[in-house]
Homo-oligomer: A and B are copies of this chain.
Amino acid sequence: MSASGLPTLDDVARHAGVSTATVSRCLNAPDRVRPETRARVEQVVAELGYTPNLSARALASNRTNTVGAVIPTMESAIFALGLQALQDELSARGVTLLVATSHYDPEREADQVRTLLARGVDGVVLIGEARPPATYKLLEDRGTPFVLVWSYRGDCPYPCVGFDNRAAARSMAEQVLDRGHRRIGMIAGITAGNDRASDRVAGVREALHGRGLELEEPYLAETAYSVEASAAIAQTLLSLSPRPTAIICGNDVQAAGAIRGARALGLETPRDLSVVGFDDIELASATTPEITTVRVPHRRMGRAAAQLLLRMVGSDQPGERIEFETAVVERASLAAPPADA
């Protein structure tokens, strides 16, 4: 019995009349021990209600069976689906996920990475590519494998699992253009240190350029991913003259805000204003009108990230880059501009 009153490997070994090494093998490499011996050990394990002390195991084996993820926030539903999938996949393989949040602050992200590293995680999942080099250095110096999720950019030198935010935003914008809109505003997320946000802006801008249009302030505004903030900004955009007939948003939460902000001004979506979002979270199909948005393979990304990371952890394999496709989901919030516009 250990100090804490729990049975230890040693207790099991003694009761089963074998060495601790054998018990350890029963647990970690069952086929390296004779079936009869194993049976005896397993019985004792059951009788004593033995559970291995994972701290001790981690110390001895230099492996924690833990991976960490740092996401911007848990409050928004944006990362929820992917995170859940990541966790499910990991937990199915006996790995525990440690979730930390950065609140979109690069310093805090670096801190969290440090903490995770101190905890000895076997691997790390990070959102997006943009972050100070120092954060990457932390990981590399330590030799801890990591994968980036949610972005896939042509020139990214790191293993990643994501999609092309820019291309997705471009094709979203093109749909808007195809509907006949010419005066287009955009409510973007804060782009500093957020490549998803800035790529989406870039994509929209690209599409507009293609039709000889510009996207500049004050028709382009950045704000936090919150309904309220976005509703407020939408009202500002809609007071501009000429007033935009469509607002492209950085994500669905902002789109919901834009619809609300417009309504506060007596403008109905999509009759007076078209609004489109990004991410296709549950919210997007719960609003009225439902939001036209970009469907993102949340779950598949989560699962793929888990698999890739585990592969890297297990075998020191190089790590690859996996790209997913996205698609525009047409819903009611996008229509042609009003006739009088």
Contacts and interface: CB of A to CB of B under 8 A. Distances in A.
A54 B223 CA distance: 39
B118 A51 contact: yes
Interface residues of A, number: 54
Interface centre among A77, A115, A142 (most CB of B within 10 A): A77
A270 interface: no
Given A54-B119, A99-B99, A287 B287 contact: yes
Contacts of A97: 99
Q: Within the oligomer, what is the number of copies of this chain? A: 2
A74 B58 contact: no
Interface stretch (A2-10, A124-132, A178-186, A238-246): A2-10
A224 interface: no
A87 interface: yes
Given A55-B55, A84-B101, A62 B4 contact: yes
Interface stretch (A154-162, A194-202, A278-286, A307-315): A278-286
Given A62-B3, A74-B80, A80-B80, A120 B55 contact: yes
Interface string A283-322: 1011111000000000000000000000000000000000
A74 B75 CA distance: 10
Nearest to A269: B288
A96 interface: yes
A59 interface: yes
Contact of A120 (B54, B257, B288): B54
Contacts of A88: 101
Contacts of A96: 98, 100, 115, 119
A119 B142 CA distance: 23
A202 B143 CA distance: 55
A76 B281 CA distance: 10
Nearest to A268: B288
A85 B28 CA distance: 38
7 interchain residue pairs of minimum CB distance? A288-B288, A55-B58, A256-B286, A55-B59, A74-B84, A51-B118, A75-B84
